[in-house]
A and B are shown apart, each in its own frame.
Chain A
Amino acid sequence: MLNLKIRNPLLKIVGKERLLEKPEELACYSYDAYFEEAMPDMVLFPVTTQEVSAILKICSTHKIPVTARGAGTSVCGASIPARHGVVLCFSKMNQILETNTKDRYIIVQPGVVNIDIQKALEPFKFFYPPDPGSMNVSTIGGNVAQNAGGPRCLKYGVTADYILGMQVVLASGKIVEFGSRNVKDVTGYRLSGLFCGSEGTLGMVTKIILRVVPLPETIKTILVTFDNLDDTAKSVSDIIGSGILPVALELLDKTTINAIEDSANLGLPVEAEGSLLIEIDGVKEACEKEIQKIIEKVETNGATSIQEAKSDEERDKLWEARRTAFGVFAKLAPDIFSEDVTVPASKVPEMIRKTVEITKEYGLKVGILAHAGDGNMHPMIPADKNNKEEWEKVEKAFVEIVKAAVDLNGTLSGEHGIGLAKTQFLPLVMSQDSIEFMSVIKAAVDPDGILNPGKFV
């Protein structure tokens, strides 16, 4: 428990309804979707920027660690209070402040759930493209902190590409704002790019102006199967290399498809070694032309079946299957090691081959899942963390997978983030000077290191 000198002023800011401090309550904020855990000393639910500012003032005076949380769906442990202290949970700061599709923006508080933004825009026939697998539950604050991606980011870009402006409370409690409602804005540094993806280590985002785009006229979704993984992967680089830009190009291997099918019974092709879920959107005529081109490409690569979603219902089913993939793997073993290395699209076939080789070498089971169109790999290794021997193998295999990705000009994480999961691997992809430069920025903005300490910087 926090010293009463600190506790009482904090209580005064939010009131007892929005402060948690009993062990059974705190325990609920000790985890997210990553497998490590750490107990906070207190959980606060601010609802205004002023409250956030007042809380941070007190915390920085007393050097209390502060970790932001939304819905707690981070898969890299970004919202785990590794150094205890205060968890600032934004789930109740969840108002949509302005929807303006004429000028193509929406202004939201950080606790708004991604899907609620979509629902608010739908009547105007607009949408907000970034669609992380957790979109039905994760908050936009978390999406911004992690620079969340998702399947359709292949065509539309990631969270950072949609931030026009934001309001941020710094560690000191100072409130700063930058950006505007304009797509073109070169007034000062583009700081949204700095805070987006900072995983709560630089400041607390309290208001976000997001760019929104019109819903496409037509969407076409197909599921293609292959009888080997190589052909599947090669189709990906062929499609991307041909100049077509699908909305999404998802790759699922046999293990993954079977895990999903066991759980959801959707009638997925369980025999196929590899499947591609491909979606394109745009004007009807263009879509038809593009889907033809795609079909040619996959047929050249030996596709064994091509199935088109005939209704919204069928399309939803396919995507639902894809979205539950992470969860269904939990059935296979007590823990899942979910990877997120990313390589240029042309290197996807090689990366998949390497991943299979490496896991085989260590005798591990692996499910290959990938936002393959942008090279964002999600191999998943079901294992038991309590089985020391097995877990050591998992960690060793992981290092080799990362190294393989780096050799292919890839990177450590495409969309999950670094958090607790990958800090030690940063030197594999960043020079000492580059890592130090991040520390310099961190020290300038948060000199006492109270914001999400214990993480990558």
Chain B
Amino acid sequence: MKPKALQNCGKCGLCLSVCPVYKISNQEEASPRARLQLIKYYKNENLLSSSGLKEIISKCLMCGSCKAICPSGIDHYSQFMEMRAQMRKDHGEKSAIKSLTYLLAKESRIRLAAGAAKIGQKIIPQNFIQKYNLGNIPLKRFPRLNKKPFRQAVPEIIQPDRNKKGTLLYFTGCATNHIFDKTGFSTINILKQMGYTVIIPKKQTCCGIPMLFHGAGKQAEKNVLTNIKCLDKEDIKAIIVDCPTCGTALKDEYPALMQRLDKDVDAAKRISSKVIDIMSFIIQESDLKNFSNSIDKIKVTYHLPCHLKNSRKTSNNTEKILDKLDWIEYERAIDVDECCGGGGTFFYEYPEISKKMMDKKIKNAKNTGSSIWLTDCPVCRINLSGNLKRKDKITVRHPVEIINNVLFNT
């Protein structure tokens, strides 16, 4: 087989300049260019499959920075996902990752696992929690799970109090549903205030990215089909996401996947065209006049998640809002758009690399003198806040939470 697409990598090396893993290791095999070459050698049978090869292919954050900068227009995601699936087939998967992809493939399993984990969080002895780490994050710094899954805690349809502007679908993602319900409540509150009817389709499930990225494409298929079915609705203005990675999935990966599966690409494209992250929606639909307040300014800093930066070309909408809000003093960290090393499960699989990235981020965030660190992505959030120490006195929040707290929840 001649991998035509791979031949088009000009090997110019531009991707090395943006790859977060390469920047830490300074070794070619950590780079996107190397992974593409290895895939080529493997397909041309110049290189045998090995656990070492799997390791190189896996040691990637799937942040998409290479795809965004590639002048040759290579779709790194597809190449990497396909190869990851092959490597998973050849060499199996770490049991923790296998369990994760198994769990996320079915909503009932996710609920069950979240329930068990919640009990787990209660019954794990305190001294164990104090002592142990998952990846480089101490267990004690993991967020507590929601008391009740968010989607069960709110009605399926939420009407605004006044001036109805239209109907939105809200895709909440697993993180809001099970970990960060405040993000969900805040999002609904803001959209209500803006005058929208919000529908949270009950049937929605995990977007499937964790499976796709771990090479478990088969398991992801069902999720994708389920979500497409419940999101492909007429007469809705937009599909709101609060998680940039879910956004990447719905916007970019669903159409690509449906194309590969030879299924309803049009439905995926209809959905893709309506997907927008909550912060971009706010700035697109509002001049922010209703978002002003005369309280003393709150100093905040921000971390731009890779999947916002690379996948949707809407990169800086959150920063734009922070700059405009009269009650926020936004202190930009010099490395605001550098990857934090979270990368789904990357922080767990490669803690040494992740930690080096994180240490830099924390240092620069502290230099801003802010006590609030905003970020849109739940994995970034777990990673940032998990690596902070109590004495750092910095809390990490989704931007909608601070907006809701200050403006609508008082």
Contacts and interface: CB of A to CB of B under 8 A. Distances in A.
Given A23-B48, A24-B50, A328-B71, A33 B28 contact: no
Interface string A350-390: 00000000000000000000000000000000001010000
A452 interface: no
A134 B16 CA distance: 10
B14 interface: yes
A328 B16 CA distance: 16
B12 A24 contact: no
B26 A24 contact: no
Contacts of A71: 13, 16
A137 B13 contact: yes
B7 A24 contact: no
A23 B14 CA distance: 24
B163 interface: no
A27 B28 CA distance: 10
Interface string A98-116: 0000000000000101010
B14 A136 contact: yes
Contacts of A329: 10
A358 to B, nearest CB: 23
Given A111-B26, A327-B70, A27 B38 contact: yes
A28 B29 contact: yes
A24 B49 CA distance: 9
B12 A327 contact: yes
A324 interface: yes
B125 interface: no
A79 to B, nearest CB: 10
A330 B13 contact: no
Interface string B2-28: 101001111111101100000000111
A27 B13 contact: no
Contacts of B230: none
A29 B11 CA distance: 12
Contact of A28 (B14, B34, B48): B34
B52 A138 contact: no
Contacts of B72: 263, 327-328, 330-331
Contacts of A92: 26-27
A210 B9 CA distance: 33
Interface string A297-341: 000000000000000000000000000111111110111100000
Given A24-B38, A29-B28, A331 B11 contact: no
Contacts of B29: 20, 24-25, 28
A334 B263 CA distance: 30
Contacts of B8: 330-331, 333-334
A89 B12 CA distance: 18
Nearest to B13: A73
Contacts of A28: 27-29, 31, 34, 37-38, 56
B28 A334 contact: no
A413 interface: no
A336 B10 CA distance: 8
Given A111-B26, A327-B72, A24 B14 contact: no
A137 B38 contact: no
A400 B188 CA distance: 68
A329 B28 CA distance: 23
Contact of B9 (A32, A115, A134, A330): A330
Interface in A73-131: 73, 89, 91-92, 94, 111, 113, 115
A327 to B, nearest CB: 3
B92 interface: no
Given A28-B38, A263-B71, A326 B12 contact: yes
Contact of A136 (B17, B38, B52): B17
Contact of A27 (B14, B37, B73): B37
Contacts of B34: 28
B41 interface: yes
26 contacts: A22-B50, A23-B47, A23-B50, A25-B56, A27-B37, A27-B47, A28-B38, A28-B56, A33-B12, A45-B26, A72-B28, A115-B17, A134-B13, A136-B14, A137-B13, A325-B71, A326-B10, A327-B70, A327-B71, A330-B8, A330-B71, A331-B71, A331-B73, A334-B8, A335-B7, A336-B10
CB-CB nearest 5 A-B residue pairs: A327-B71, A330-B10, A334-B7, A330-B72, A136-B17
Interface of A: 20, 22-25, 27-35, 45, 71-73, 89, 91-92, 94, 111, 113, 115, 134, 136-138, 263-264, 324-331, 333-336, 384, 386
Interface of B: 2, 4, 7-14, 16-17, 26-29, 31, 34, 37-38, 41, 46-48, 50, 52-53, 56, 70-73
